[in-house]
Amino acid sequence: MHTLGYLVRYLISLFALLILAAIPQVFYYTGNPMLGQQQIAFEPKMIVIVVRGFLEGILSAESFYYISGSSKRFFPSDIVGYFNSSYFYVAGSGLIVILLSFVFGIWLWKASGRYLNGILSFLGMIPDFIFILILQLLVNGIYKSTGIKTVKVASLSTNEPAIFLPILTLVIIPFVYLVRTLNERTHEVITEDYIVTAVAKGLSKIEIYLFHITTNVIPFLKADLHKVTSIMISNLFIVEYLYNTRGITTMLFQLQVKFGYQYNVVVLSLFTLVLLYIAVFLSFKLLIILIERILKHA
């Protein structure tokens, strides 16, 4: 029954995705723009037409081909590189966030609560696109003032990707969220009776933090993995655009701007984002399991 419930939710999500991608096809211009008679028309039945066309195209494999300039390309073969790029940035940033959250959210929770939270709160208030522009201007300012090249402000090509600034941008917001959450949970755990008992038995501070506090805070971290993954995937859109990293959002947005709206590309790109979410979430979960096993056998 539980499996059936998951299956129903996935089917509903897939159906919603197909409809969402078809919405731009519902609106179109009519009339003669030269005579100033152009207006927007609304045709709901286009949703049924484009969705049906896409599903029929899957059987003939036509839905997996898209137009890029004057050429016709096969989506599955092209999307692999874009997927790998997005996965590298999101998963890499997430692993950094999780590891740092252990340090500042659990083991150094008092110091981070006293000194770090104010800085993190301020950074978390800055919109992503402004934060990115500030970082890029700062790097350019350092180069103009000193002639020293520090980090790339954008990817020039797939062979010369910007790495540091995109990862830093993706790290900030989920790091702020996790540190705050784990600080609160750590404070709650420390007041529990079993921690008082551990102190009374003469266990060292390191032993208490590693084997009692951390192991009891980790379940809260697990519960927040979905939220952390969602935050990072949502931030990926603006990060890939402003840093010019060739990820999934390049196919989802930039391709449509250059060569016109292609329903099949949008649907397949959104589906790829779902796969990215699953892959990233499982990677985070695997890291947590690994940390738990290390603590268990330490």
What are the tokens at 210?
């590693």
Contact at 8 Å (CB) between 242 and 254?
no
Contact at 8 Å (CB) between 158 and 244?
no
Distance of alpha carbon 264 from alpha carbon 272, whole angstroms: 12
DSSP 70: T
- Can you give the pTM of this predicted structure? 0.86
Give the pLDDT score at 113: 64
Contact at 8 Å (CB) between 147 and 165?
no
Give the pLDDT score at 294: 83
pLDDT at 281 over 70: yes
CB atoms within 10 A of CB 72: 9
Comparing 179 with 114, the larger pLDDT belongs to 179
**What's the angle, vertex CA 152, arms to CA 148 and CA 157, rounded to 5?**
135
Each residue of 70-116: pLDDT tens digit?
888 999 999 999 999 999 999 999 999 999 888 888 777 666 666 66
Distance of alpha carbon 25 from alpha carbon 46, whole angstroms: 6
Each residue of 219-234: pLDDT tens digit?
888 889 999 999 999 8
Distance of alpha carbon 233 from alpha carbon 170, whole angstroms: 9
Contact at 8 Å (CB) between 120 and 231?
no
Which of 235, 118, 117, 257 has its CA nearest to residue 179? Answer: 117
Give the pLDDT score at 24: 82
Give the pLDDT score at 30: 67
Distance of alpha carbon 223 from alpha carbon 70, whole angstroms: 48
Comparing 96 with 143, the larger pLDDT belongs to 96
Give the pLDDT score at 17: 87
Residue 18 phi, psi dihedral angles, 5° rounding: -65, -40
What are the tokens at 209?
């933090």
Q: Which residues lie closer than 8 Å to 220 by C-beta, 6 or more apart?
A: 181, 182, 185
Bridge partners for 160 per DSSP: 157
**What's the angle, vertex CA 265, arms to CA 263 and CA 271, rounded to 5?**
105
Give the model's confidence band at 62: pLDDT under 50 very low, under 70 low, under 90 confident, else very high. Answer: very high
